[in-house]
Every structure is written in structure tokens, then in C-alpha cells.
Structure 1
Amino acid sequence: MTRQDGLDVAGLQRRLAEFAAAREWEPYHTPKNLAVALSVEASELVEIFQWLTPEQSARVMEKEGSAHRVRDEVADVLAYLLQFCEVLGIDALAALSDKIDRNEIRFPAK
């Protein structure tokens, strides 16, 4: 899937792999290490919202400081998820589509 601005999952995965290769980080990018890093980054995203009320959390993108933090943590989570999928040969979009299909059967609309 390619967006109008030219961004696509495969291209981003390629950029992440090139970034890691240029720094000789591939030996550290094992499924276990990437899963742990993904969990840490997801926790950092949760931390932003930890003590906010539901109303405050709904407005988190209104302030540039908090919006920037949220965007950065979302990027970190996505980066580690894409690297994890790359290492294990998972097509993230196909996996999501399959899961939605199963959930539609499991949780039918009324």
C-alpha cells in the first residue's frame, strides 16, 4: 500500500533495515529483542496518558509539546513493529486484514 506522498510499509521497512545495517545493529535485532523494545516503546506511549483524565487524553494533540511526544512514541512503536515483522517475515497488513476477518466472525454486529 502506497500513500499519495509515496510512503509505504515496504519502503519504510527497507529504510529501517538500511539504518540498522549502517550501524551494524542487525545482530541485536532478534525477534526477542525487537518484541522487548516494542513493549518498552508502547509503555512510553502509555506513560504520556498515565495520569490524564479521559477528557485531557482526548485533547493531548492540541498542545504541540504533548503532540510531539505522542507522534514520536507512535513512530517508535511502529518502527519496532515493522522491524519485528521484517525479521519474522510477517506481512503486517495481511496479518491485520486476517485478524479483522476473524474478529468480524467472532464479534458479529447486531
Structure 2
Amino acid sequence: MTGVLENGRVTLEELKEKMAEFARERDWDQFHSPRNLLLALVGEVGELSEIFQWKGEVPRGLPDWKDEEKQHLGEELSDVLLYLVRLSDICGVDLGNAALRKMEMNAIKYPVKLCKGSSKKHTQINVDNSNVNGESGGAATDQGINSYIKSTSAGDDV
């Protein structure tokens, strides 16, 4: 197994192949069931969480962190990514395409005009104010978002 790629970038497909090769060389496929990989992933997320535990909010770029802390963070982030890529491979899920599809679904759930600058969940968009249909309340929110989507896809400006 080789180290860094020539261009310095790696795709999810290349990571998937490298992880499969890594497991195959060690005869670990027998242990890489979806359940086992998920539990390993959860454990790594816990280790990642420990890094931030008790630090409170930290600024982007982590300017006050030591190089060793950032290196440790990179290692734990990598563990999470690698288990996630391996789990998706074992489950037969194209992670890149699944992620793009999920982003498209989120763009529909969270249209810019309705949620820009807000941290509300899609079920709470316009619960406090009238929604795009002029109705109030959570039950009407999905109808309002659906109406908004239909109107913007038809070229209307709401």
C-alpha cells in the first residue's frame, strides 16, 4: 500500500480501495461486518469528541492550539473518515453520491429564502412567523415549504 498520492489529493473511491486492500492484506475482512464497523466508528467519534471536551467554543482554524493538538485532531478525524468509508463500502453504498443526494435533499428542506441566517430545523421554519402560505404552526410548515419549492421551480419569486 502506498502513502500519499502524486497530486496530493485523494478521492473517496481511492480511500475505499486503499481501505479494502489494507483489510485484505491483514485478513480483516472477516471482522468488518457492518455492525463491527459501526461500533468502531462510534468509538472513534467518542475519541474525537474527547479532544473538544471541556474546551468550550473554539475559533475556526484553532489558532491557539499547539501543533501536537492539531495533529492528534487530524488523526482522530481520519479514523472517523476511514471507518465511515469502509462501512459504506461494506454496505454497498456509494458515499460520494449519497452525500451529494443528501445535500440536494437538504437544499429542498432548507431553501435559502426561508432559512438564511437561521439555525432552526426544517420543521420549525416559519413556525414563529407566518409561512409562505400565510398560515402559522408546524403542521403548515411542510405545506408552506412544498408550496415554496413548487413556486420557485416554476420561476415565481416568493
Contact 1:45 1:73 in 2 (8 A): yes
1:1-110 alignment, distance < 5 Å: 4-55=7-58, 59=62, 62-110=65-113
Consecutive aligned runs of 4 or more in structure 1 exceeding 4 Å deviation: none
User: CA deviation digits over 1:61-82, x for unaligned, max 9?
Assistant: 7411110110000110010001
C-alpha distance 62-100 of structure 1, shift in aligned 2 (>3 A): same
Compute the TM-score of the two structures, normalised by the length of structure 1. 0.88
Residue 108 of structure 1: CA displacement? 1.2
Question: Distance in 1 between the 2:49 and 2:87 partners?
Answer: 20
Larger radius of gyration between Structure 1 and Structure 2: 2
Q: Percent identity?
A: 33
Compute the TM-score of the two structures, normalised by the length of structure 2. 0.63
User: CA deviation digits over 1:34-76, x for unaligned, max 9?
Assistant: 1111111011111100100213686267411110110000110
Is there any run of 5+ residues in structure 1 with no aligned partner, and where? Answer: none
Relative to its length, the structure with more helix (as a share) is 1
Higher relative contact order (CA 8 A, sep 6+): 1
CA RMSD of aligned residues (A): 2.0
Aligned length: 108
Question: Distance in 2 between the 1:19 and 1:48 partners?
Answer: 27
